[in-house]
Amino acid sequence: MRIPFGNPKIGKVARDRLEKAIAKSWASEGENVREFEKLFSEKFGYKHAIAVSSGTDADIVANTALYDLGAKRGDEIITPALAFVATANSILAAGFMPKFVDIRVDTLNLDPAKIEAAITGKTRAIQVVHTMGKPCDMDSILAIARARKLTVIEDACEAHGATYKGRVVGTLGAMGAFSFFAAHLVYSGEGGMVVTNDDRLAEICRSVKSHGRPAGSNYFDFQRMGYNSKMNDLEAALGIEGTLAFDDTFNRRKAHLVTLLALTKDLRPFAHFLVEEEHEKISPHAFSLVLKDEKHGRDALYAFLESKEIQCKTLFGCLPTQHKAFEWMGHRSGEFPAAEFVGRNGLHFGVHQGLSSEDIDYVSDQLHAYFKRVK
């Protein structure tokens, strides 16, 4: 692919940390993990950063921490109908039920106007997702959460460095979750991070990620439900490098995103594109679009771009109605019209730091060529 979705590299900093771990014959959680946690928390201003084995585990650990806040097995957590599957799977894995709420097509994020109707006596939390690096409407969501005494968890797996009204994502709710998969701004092979400014929640999350033992203990004293969700020192070596290089990575990717949005401005009659509003800073996770008219053919566009060596992915789909994995929940087509529309008509591709300005021009040219054909 000329335009792959991501372009992970392992540089000198990561190699040095890898060799350090190998020299100690210690690849499990150790010195590199502690350094990664410290760098990540200092870089973005989180009081606590708890390294885990994946972004999915970051969500699972954050959700499981709700038991210490009074939640019971089988309680409900509100989450967007359109998102990567880990958002719903993490709720189920923690022993809760996802309560799906529709999104807005123009933001790809949870629609605050739909939340109140989804709240029941069993609702304990709202898990927002900052989709494609665009922050949710957090003022509206936090107001609902305060009024209803609900905990807010931010899935920021696609939103490294994004801000909402001057605050970095992950600091707006009680906890935030990040992923360090290959296409993300910070890369560690696998790996994730739970962040919080709450001392008690940090201690709970450290316990949950290590089988429910007291934080920092290796004794067989299991105080709560927990998992083996620890990050290892080999992954952390890569995460250290990614955190140290974050500003350069962010700026390069953001320049590509901004340029491509400007180059495709004339295509807005055909598709919804990301819009960065004055109060926010979008993280340049990827370039997404949603066709406005189904006759323009998302699958045909997907095939066209792939034929031009531009690697594509769909925009997840509506989890409760467009994926067999959730059929057992009994939802029916039409319940989540915005999420279902995006599921049929959305796609995204990479704008990573390894691309050149010529690559971005090439992508623009191919998008224009496709829409010229289907006008």
Q: What is the DSSP string of 297-309?
A: -HHHHHHHHHHTT
SS3 97: strand
| Token pair for 268 | 């807005």
For residues 339 and 263, give the distance between their C-alpha atoms in angstroms, rounded to a whole number.
Answer: 27
Domain ranges of the chain: 12-244, 246-374
Q: Which residues of the chain have pLDDT under 70?
A: none
CATH number given to 12-244 = 3.40.640.10
pLDDT in tens, 95-152: 999 999 999 999 999 999 999 999 999 999 999 999 999 999 999 999 999 999 999 9
* Order of strands, sheet of 271-273, starting from the edge strand that comes earlier in the sequence: 271-273, 287-291, 346-349, 312-314
Q: Are 14 and 245 in contact (CB under 8 A)?
A: no
| Token pair for 275 | 């819009």
Identical fold at 12-244 and 246-374? no
For residue 177, the model assigns a pLDDT of: 98
Residue written as tokens 């097995």?
A: 73
Q: Are 142 and 135 in contact (CB under 8 A)?
A: no
pLDDT in tens, 183-226: 999 999 999 999 999 999 999 999 999 999 998 777 899 999 99
Q: In which region does residue 149 sit, left (phi positive, over 0), alpha (psi from -120 to 50) or beta (all else)?
A: left
Neighbouring C-beta atoms of residue 102, cutoff 10 Å:
22
Q: What is the DSSP letter of 217?
A: -
| Token pair for 331 | 């939802």
For residue 1, the model assigns a pLDDT of: 87
- Using a 10 angstrom Cβ sphere, with 0-12 exposed, 13-18 middle and 19 or more buried, the burial of residue 330 is exposed
For residue 210, the model assigns a pLDDT of: 96
| Token pair for 116 | 């109140």
CATH topology of domain 246-374: Aspartate Aminotransferase, domain 1 (3.90.1150)
Put simply, whether the predicted model's pTM sits higher than 0.95 gets the answer yes
For residue 309, the model assigns a pLDDT of: 98
Q: What is the residue type of 114?
A: K
SS3 336: coil
Taking CA atoms, 205 is separated from 18, 177, 192, 319, in Å, by 26, 11, 13, 27
- Gyration radius of the chain over CA positions: 20
For residue 373, the model assigns a pLDDT of: 86
For residue 332, the model assigns a pLDDT of: 97
For residue 219, the model assigns a pLDDT of: 84
| Token pair for 228 | 């083996």
